[in-house]
């Protein structure tokens, strides 16, 4: 028995999509529009769906564990060892890209012009990505040199990768700090920088030029305590003794220290170093160099606070209380001279360090991997003697610490970008916490 044929002009009724299906399509459309707005550093993964991103993240986590486990805890540090570390850097870059894309999907703007990439969490991920990218560049370039360093008397650079708390974390990394050390650091700074406080426990912030409680004003390291292994190699013998001394710290408001860590602001000599004619910067180069030399010879050196990008919306957010600090935003502090209550000042070398950190982060904002020479180039451009940063030493020693200087900056950026909390530990806080402020 033959079946009855269906006429050619017969059409089957279309099924009306359910409400859930309609909402899913609309959600996917919105996500697709968001993902098109990705920045160049994480755009390679913008085409992946949410399930694909989750699967990739799981694969990356497994691969990171395998790479770490495959490197001996007592490594010979041969070519294969460093090749594995390069692979580890690549995996960490991928992980931050995946995380950024997933967060982008869930981001809800608080204002019409707000974007995911303006958020502090996005900035941390971008810094983490570029930190690992910088690591990969350094390792690739210096794999051969590293072998020679193992037989030399200067092994701090090698120890960086063996003990880094964001790498293998082999025994020997900095670990937690003793809470008494933190309290002593803050007490020493208070004795030097904060004479006759208005109220017990108040601190003087030289940027805001006001007294405030330690709840908001914290003792902040200029050269990071995490990188203590590098201090002598970068700044000269016995520099490690400065790590918890007032010469390596400033009392700063938490919001200011946060912006400093992110490379959004800087503390620099209170000098006019801008060319008189931006189109002819060499015309008065010698004059600007002389200003720096005169400044360096002063017993009491003055500094000023600058905002690197005044167009950054974060610099115009209300983060201060007008009644307490007389300003609302960080942008209002641009160009302000730091006001100290005594002649005590931090050592210039550690202030310069924070500026190098700012240069690094600013370059990363433009997706640029900084070369070693570029990182220290600003010093030579204004005529600043390299010995002022690296400590005393003859010319034959000047070239050697540069790799330590660059990698110290990058490793600290990795550590900070991977933290859940910002900064040093609170003076009176839990010693097991990972806050960035004292």
Tell me what pLDDT residue 283 has.
Answer: 76
Mean pLDDT of 73-94: 72
Which helix (H) or strand (E) is 249 found in, with range? Answer: strand 249-253
Among the listed ranges 20-34, 277-291, 308-322, 336-350, which one has the minimum average pLDDT value? 20-34
Among the listed ranges 221-225, 327-331, 411-415, which one has the minimum average pLDDT value? 411-415
Tell me what pLDDT residue 231 has.
Answer: 78
Under the banding of pLDDT at 50, 70 and 90, the label for residue 409 is low
Under the banding of pLDDT at 50, 70 and 90, the label for residue 129 is confident
- With a cut of 60, say whether residue 112 has pLDDT above it: yes
For the record, the structure tokens of 155 come out as 């092994």
Under the banding of pLDDT at 50, 70 and 90, the label for residue 370 is very low
Q: In this predicted model, what pLDDT tens digit does every residue of 15-69 receive, in sequence order? A: 555 555 544 544 554 455 555 567 888 888 888 888 999 999 999 999 988 887 7
Tell me what pLDDT residue 340 has.
Answer: 97
Mean pLDDT of 72-93: 70
Q: In this predicted model, what pLDDT tens digit does every residue of 376-403 receive, in sequence order? A: 444 444 333 334 443 333 333 344 444 4
In whole angstroms, give the CA distance from residue 39 to residue 427: 38
Mean pLDDT in the chain? 72
- As a whole-number percent, the residues of the chain with pLDDT over 70 amount to 60
Tell me what pLDDT residue 156 has.
Answer: 46
Residue 113 DSSP one-character state: T
- With a cut of 90, say whether residue 332 has pLDDT above it: yes
Tell me what pLDDT residue 219 has.
Answer: 93
| H runs (alpha helix) in 76-202 | 79-106, 120-150, 156-163, 179-193
Tell me what pLDDT residue 54 has.
Answer: 92
Q: In this predicted model, what pLDDT tens digit does every residue of 195-220 receive, in sequence order? A: 999 898 899 999 999 999 989 999 99
Q: Judge whether 338 and 265 are in contact, CB under 8 Å.
A: no
- Position with higher pLDDT, 38 vs 414: 38
Tell me what pLDDT residue 15 has.
Answer: 54
- Position with higher pLDDT, 170 vs 107: 107
In whole angstroms, give the CA distance from residue 152 to residue 138: 19
Tell me what pLDDT residue 262 has.
Answer: 82
Model-wide pTM > 0.75: no
272 closest CA partner among 306, 247, 249, 311:
306
- Position with higher pLDDT, 43 vs 136: 43
Cβ neighbours, 10 Å, residue 201: 13
- With a cut of 50, say whether residue 281 has pLDDT above it: yes
Residue 178 DSSP one-character state: P
- For strands 203-205 and 210-212, give the pairing: antiparallel
- With a cut of 50, say whether residue 90 has pLDDT above it: yes
Tell me what pLDDT residue 154 has.
Answer: 39
């Amino acid at each position: 028995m033959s079946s009855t044929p269906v006429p050619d002009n017969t059409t089957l009724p279309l099924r009306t999509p359910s409400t859930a299906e309609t909402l899913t399509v609309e959600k996917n459309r919105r996500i697709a529009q968001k993902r098109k707005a990705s920045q160049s550093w994480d755009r390679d993964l913008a085409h992946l769906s949410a399930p694909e991103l989750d699967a990739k993240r799981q694969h990356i986590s497994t691969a990171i564990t395998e790479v770490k486990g495959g490197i001996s805890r007592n490594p010979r540090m041969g070519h294969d060892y460093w090749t594995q570390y390069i692979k580890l850097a690549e995996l960490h870059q991928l992980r931050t890209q995946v995380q950024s894309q997933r967060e982008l999907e869930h981001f809800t703007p608080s204002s019409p012009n707000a974007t995911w990439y303006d958020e502090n969490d996005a900035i941390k991920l971008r810094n983490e990505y570029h930190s690992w990218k910088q690591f990969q560049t350094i390792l690739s370039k210096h794999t051969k040199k590293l072998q020679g360093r193992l037989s030399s008397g200067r092994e701090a650079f090698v120890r960086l990768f063996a003990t880094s708390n964001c790498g293998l974390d082999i025994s020997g990394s900095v670990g937690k700090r003793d809470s008494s050390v933190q309290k002593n650091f803050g007490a020493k700074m208070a004795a030097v920088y904060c004479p006759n406080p208005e109220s017990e426990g108040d601190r003087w912030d030289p940027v805001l030029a006001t007294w405030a409680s330690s709840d908001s004003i914290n003792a902040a390291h200029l050269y990071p305590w995490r990188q203590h292994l590098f201090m002598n190699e970068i700044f000269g013998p016995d520099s490690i003794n400065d790590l918890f001394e007032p010469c390596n710290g400033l009392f700063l408001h938490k919001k200011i220290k946060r912006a400093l860590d992110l490379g959004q602001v800087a503390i620099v000599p209170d000098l006019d170093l801008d060319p008189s004619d931006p189109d002819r910067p060499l015309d008065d180069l010698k004059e600007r160099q002389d200003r720096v030399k005169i400044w360096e010879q002063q017993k009491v050196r003055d500094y000023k606070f600058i905002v690197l990008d005044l167009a950054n919306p974060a610099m115009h957010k209300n983060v201060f209380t007008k009644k307490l600090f007389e300003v609302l935003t960080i942008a209002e502090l641009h160009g302000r001279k730091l006001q100290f209550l005594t002649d005590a000042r931090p050592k210039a070398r550690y202030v310069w360090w924070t500026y190098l950190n700012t240069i690094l982060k600013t370059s990363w904002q433009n997706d640029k991997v900084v070369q070693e020479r570029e990182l220290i180039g600003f010093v030579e451009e204004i005529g600043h003697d390299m010995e002022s940063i690296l400590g005393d030493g003859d010319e034959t020693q000047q070239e050697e610490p540069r790799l330590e200087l660059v990698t110290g900056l990058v490793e600290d950026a990795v550590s900070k970008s991977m933290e859940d909390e910002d900064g040093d530990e609170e003076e009176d806080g839990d010693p097991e916490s990972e806050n960035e402020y004292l």
